[in-house]
Structure 1
Amino acid sequence: MTTKQIEDLILLRIGWWIKGWNLEFPYSPDEIVRTPQCLRWSNLTPGTLPAIPDPSASLWIPPPSHCIKWNVDASLHPILIRSSIGGVLRDSEGKFLCIFSSPIPHMEINMAEVFAIHKALKIVQGSTRLQGRKIIIESDSKNVVGWCCARSGGPWNIQFILNFIRNISSTGLQVEICHKGRASNSVADGLAKRGLSREDDFIAWL
C-alpha cells in the first residue's frame, strides 16, 4: 500500500467516525479525503461535547458469529461519464476485514451494483483466510438482489456475471445476498464514490 493510499484510508475512517457521532458536520467522508482542510470546520458550542451515540440505534446490524458480511454499493457520475463500486467486509464484532474501491466501465447504476457483488465474491474466492465462513452480501438495490437470487432474468449483457453469482454455491461458498436500506450502507457508499476519482482498483486488508 502506498503512502497516499494509507492517507486516504485514514481520512476515510475519520469521516466515518464523524458520521457516527451524528454531528451537523457539512462534509461527506469523500469530501474529507479530497479536501482535508475541511476538518477545521467547527460548529460546537464551547465547552460542550457530542453525546455518545447509542450502539443499539445503529442501522448496521452485525452478522452471526459464524458469518462475515459485505456491504457493497455503486456510484455514477453522469457528467464525467464514470462509474465505480465499493465495498466493506466486517465480522460479527463489526471489525473491518477488507475494503475495496474501484472504477469500472461506465454503465447503468443497477448493473454497476451487480459488478460490486461480483467483486466482493471474487475477493472472497481468492482469500484462504475467509474459507469456511458463510458470506452475507447486503445491497441497497432491490432490483439487483432480485436478479442475483433468481434463476434467470436481469440485463442480457451481464448474464455471464449474474450466472457466476447465481452459481457461486457450487464452488463450496455459502452465500446469502439480501437487500438493506441505504442508511446501513454508508461506508460502502463512501468507498464507491471515492472510486470515481481512481484510475486503478484499491483493495486493502485490515
Structure 2
Amino acid sequence: MFSLYVGIQDSNTAELLAIHKAVELCCSVSACVGRNLVIESDSMVAVSWINGKGIGNFKLVNLIYDIRSNLKFLKGEVKFRSRASNQFADNLAKMGSGEKGDFIEWGDFGN
C-alpha cells in the first residue's frame, strides 16, 4: 500500500500517476512478477483507458502505454472498485493529497 503526492493535477492524471507508481513498485520486486497482480482503482475513466477503451488525454498516452506494457510483464490487471466500497483506499488517497511526502508499506494483505 502506498500514497504519494503528485502535485496539482486533474483527477484522471493523479489516478494514472498512482497506478503507474503501483505498477513501478511491483516491477521492482521480483516476487511480484508473474503473480496475476490486481490493482484496484476508483477511477472508471483511468481504468477504461488502461484497459484499452480509448487512450485519454494526448499528453497521457505515454504514461498509459507504459502502464499497459508493465502490466503485461507482471501478468497484472487494473480493475474498477468504487471509492465508497473501499474506505482504506480513500484514506490513502487523502494522505497523498498533502505534501507530507510519500508513504509506502509492503506486506501480505491477502485477497
TM class by shorter chain equals 0.7 to 0.9
Show CA shifts across 1:75-112 (max 9, x none): xxxxxxxxxxxxxxxxxxxxxxxx21111121111111
1:53-92 alignment to 2 at 5 Å?
Answer: none
1:168 aligns with 2:70: yes
1:10-89 alignment to 2 at 5 Å?
Answer: none
Native 8 Å contact 1:102 1:202 kept in 2: yes
Q: Distance in 1 between matches of 2:43 and 2:26?
A: 21
Native 8 Å contact 1:151 1:166 kept in 2: no
Which blocks of at least 5 consecutive residues in structure 1 are unaligned?
Answer: 1-98
Q: Distance in 2 between matches of 1:178 and 1:169?
A: 12
1:47-196 alignment to 2 at 5 Å?
Answer: 99-150=1-52, 152-170=54-72, 172-196=73-97
TM-score (norm 2): 0.84
Pair 169,103 (structure 1): closer, same or farther in 2 beyond 3 Å: closer
1:197 aligns with 2:86: no
Q: Distance in 1 between matches of 2:99 and 2:28?
A: 23
Pair 196,142 (structure 1): closer, same or farther in 2 beyond 3 Å: closer
Q: Distance in 2 between matches of 1:181 and 1:192?
A: 13
**Total equivalences in the alignment:** 107
Higher relative strand content: 1
Higher relative helix content: 2
TM-score (norm 1): 0.48
Answer with 1 or 2: which has the greater Rg.
Answer: 1
Give the number of the structure with larger relative contact order, counting CA–CA contacts within 8 Å between residues 6 or more apart.
Answer: 2
Which blocks of at least 5 consecutive residues in structure 2 are unaligned?
Answer: none
CA RMSD of aligned residues (A): 1.8
